Amino acid sequence: MTDSSLIWKTATEIRNLLARGEVTPLDLLDALEARISAVEPRINALPTLCFERARDHAKALMEKPVADRGELLGIPVAIKDLEEVKGVRTTFGSPIFADHIPTKSDIVVETLEKNGGVVYAKANTPEFGAGGNTFNEVLGTTLNPWNQKRSVAGSSGGSAAALASGTAWLAQGSDTGGSLRNPASFCSIVGLRPSPGRVARGPSATPFANLPVAGPMARNVADVALMLDAMSGEHPRDPISLARPAESFVDAVNAQRLPKRVAFSRDLGCTPVDPEVAKICEAAALKFEALGVKVEEAHPDFHDVQEIFQALRAEGFYMTKKKLLDAHRDKMKPEVVWNIEKALEYSLEDFTRVQLARGAYIQRAVDFFETYDLLLSPATCVGPYPVEQRYVEVCDGHTFDNYVEWLTMAYAITLTTFPALSIPAGFTAEGLPVGLQVVGGPRDEAGLLSAAALLEAEIGHAAAVPIDPV
């Protein structure tokens, strides 16, 4: 008989049960399959399931001693539909790839499976991960478990909604302009954008690109640390991949290291923010003071964030999607077409100026973190918006110039290369989630996760999920 109580446990608790032999990976798959049957029709977070493949993998794991099963010991993991899973339909949210069955898995998937993760589902995403609302013409729209009339943001929206609605304990996401952090904010879960190279990915046609990264999503910081341990490490096919640190990320969280000096900014000096969202995040940030940590209003100089990010994003889309546009323009959503063709507006001189500007941008951020250990801000400029809107067009009286500008709070940090996560900060008057962005110093995921776990406990919203969809 399926044990439905497993759904409400954290990934860390599930791992402990596996370690003691009190449950098996097959028990976990049974519990998830039952929960998906009950919840998924209302949310559409995990439109592609692969339970037969998952059970085969689980049985193979169970033949090994517990000590040889990897960090996750057989915990099921949902994979975003931008990453290929061998033998499982992977659409990238695009009609062009509606029937695509990969013959090989992405490095991210290989690493997770090698370290004890069991892949059982693909999580929904907007077409090619473009946009902060999870819908596409192949697999439909993902709805927010907190209010099914609202967006889950994007592009890792399926992963976030699955975690919030109890159809996942751990889920993989990816992030360029906030695709891990924005859905985490909208669904009251935790999403970590790690440093470029922390999680090996690909093989990629653009292996030195450092705007896109893959990372972990879970219901709390400790579970994110557990998943990051299972995702991190070098790989020969990813030339920027980093060696695993000597200290595990789980151990870093357990060390409970407080930051000495923290900065908070309502808007990072570069974007409008809804006043209610800003107020909720400021109150959450100030919880550090109860732990004896000083919180000051400050932020790095991000004045040229739009010029830099928009140019680099356009360049990335052009390099990776121009051939698809030439062959399948009629199958691409207009936002993707716009993003590819925007690159044609830039000259070589423009790209040279942008690259030099980004170098100065990063150095200003490094200088800032010589004074502060963490930077806190709202993760998004608004709360969950109506799902029928393709994107946020206006915030606090400001009309955005394009479909991604409302994500500035997140991609201002992307450009620094520093690790950042969103943790639950509180709820609006409508009862909708708001996330607090917590940014660590260069390659300091350990310090970030340790401090974020302490703040998470002080804020007190970590146990708010999973929920039955409202």
Please identify every residue annotated as catalytic: 80, 155, 179
Nearest to 379 by CA among 223, 459, 265: 265
Q: b or e along 342-362 (b: 16 or more beta carbons within 10 Å of the residue's beta carbon)?
A: bbeebeeeeeebbeebbeebb
The two structure tokens encoding residue 221? 């910081």
- 56's CB contacts (< 8 A; 6+ apart) are none
CB-neighbour burial class of residue 303 (10 A; exposed 0-12, middle 13-18, buried 19+): exposed
The candidate with the shortest Cα–Cα distance to 425, out of 443, 407, 441, 437, is 437
Q: Would you say the C-alpha torsion 235, 239, 241, 245 has a positive or negative sign?
A: positive
Measured CA distances, 467 to 15, 163, 258, 436 (Å): 21, 9, 31, 20
Q: Which of 393, 391, 373 is nearest to 441 (CA)?
A: 373
Give the distance, in angstroms, between the CA of residue 160 and the centroid of all CA atoms in the same chain: 8
Beta bridge pairs of residue 80: 123
269 token code pair: 């000096």
* Distance between CA atoms of residues 109 and 1, nearest Å: 30
Q: Is the dihedral of CA 300, 301, 306, 310 positive or negative?
A: negative
d(CA 119, CA 76): 6
For residue 156, give the nearest of 309, 31, 281, 46 by alpha carbon: 46
Write the DSSP string, 69-133.
Answer: S-TTTT-EEEEETTS-BTTB---TT-GGGTT---SS--HHHHHHHHTT-EEEEEE--SGGG-SSS
Neighbours of 144 (CB within 10 A): 30
Residue-wise burial string across 205-223, b where 16 or more C-beta atoms lie within 10 A, e elsewhere: eeeebebbbbbbbbbbbbb
End-to-end CA distance of the chain: 27
